Chain A
């Protein structure tokens, strides 16, 4: 029965590879440019990147927040 298992596995692999080979790919230069533009667009709203003033960051204060 091991031969039939191998055939089934081999056939699944071929099917999977056929699907992957048919994939529509774009150039790395275009993909990289898109990643960069996303970073640039959102850089200003990234607190870990640009830093927020201590008063606005709930974690940066020395005393715990007391919400009355």
Chain B
């Protein structure tokens, strides 16, 4: 009837933490171990092999880092600008402001082009998100967000919705309707939830998924319809400020940059950090893929922009000058990848020859920091947004 087995509990000092507690009588590899239940749990969780200590792990990580540097250096046989010497130099560039979009009441923080090459969405510090027609400078839609500092905005590939977010720690999607009288705020859909501010967002190739980066140090992929988190990306040790998706249709990677001075490349399906670059000397404010997808550029508070090649796994060019001392807030490539546009905190936009590493133009016009720079989808113009409350279209 009652045939119960009781565990005979011994009480005494634990072999690990030396506290007097009930001990679990377990055997590891035929050796009796008298640990308290807490220590047994810890041991199981850590799965420590015998002899593995923090020092051995540290030593291994140092040796791996050294090996990585050695491997990378072995392949560094030439500089990009040396290879590019035989290319023709670019002529003089004349780029002027062709349109000025006025209407924001405060600093413009972010903007994005629609795939129809004429519409633009921009967001500002006062919480307003405006959709413009860049050809006519008319405002087509305006939404007031419930938070200030809307640092991220993105146009959906279909052109039927915009996503935005900022200090509310969320990314919300607003479907755009043709009816001008419709209140857009009523159709708002909260998609992403982070534990700190949203720094950047981007739709993937469809309207169905959004990739976000946040001040909480993570990036995340969300399903728009259900709001479900599909994948999260951990690896940055500080705020993630920017992200960019790889251009190819089949590409499943994206690059992110953050305040930990690192630029990480991630596989979207597995969540794995596949490559990491840490040569900047300060926060990375902006990353952008080269049009072929084999490289990316980054702009940083250390006043330099750098080009990293993904297949060579190293930095291949630095775009800097002694006279440039203000950080770069935003970078973008022209359609062929030959030009790099960088917006700086000294109110100017520098235009670089990507291959030769020389500056081809400085564009003046904004009356405050340039916060965002984006080339239009067909490459005919680029738009810059600034803390002077305006956006300018240059061509």
Contacts and interface: CB of A to CB of B under 8 A. Distances in A.
A64 B395 CA distance: 15
Interface string A5-19: 011101101101111
A7 B65 CA distance: 18
Contact of B46 (A7, A43, A57, A59): A7
B57 A11 contact: yes
B54 A49 contact: no
Nearest to B294: A34
A13 B378 CA distance: 42
Given A29-B78, A65-B135, A35 B314 contact: no
Counting chain A residues whose Cβ lies within 8 A of the other chain, the interface size class is 35 or more
Interface in A2-43: 3-4, 6-8, 10-11, 13-14, 16-21, 23, 25-36, 38-43
Given A23-B275, A28-B76, A49-B338, A35 B309 contact: yes
B338 A46 contact: yes
B64 A36 contact: no
Interface in B277-336: 290-292, 294-295, 309, 311-314, 316, 334-336
A13 B273 CA distance: 11
Contact of B355 (A19, A20, A36, A42): A36
B135 A14 contact: no
Contact of B77 (A4, A8, A27, A42): A27
B62 to A, nearest CB: 9
Counting chain B residues whose Cβ lies within 8 A of the other chain, the interface size class is 35 or more
B362 interface: no
Interface string A34-63: 111011111101111100100001111000
B78 A32 contact: yes
A8 B52 CA distance: 12
A53 to B, nearest CB: 11
Contact of A46 (B54, B309, B311, B334): B334
A30 B309 CA distance: 11
Given A47-B378, A57-B380, A58-B135, A38 B336 contact: yes
Interface of B: 42, 45-46, 48, 52-54, 57-58, 60-61, 64-65, 67-68, 71-72, 75-80, 83-84, 87, 90, 95, 98-99, 118, 134-137, 235, 272-276, 290-292, 294-295, 309, 311-314, 316, 334-339, 354-355, 375, 378-382, 393, 395
List the 7 closest pairs (A to B, CB-CB), nearest first.
Answer: A42-B336, A46-B336, A17-B64, A10-B57, A31-B312, A32-B83, A59-B395
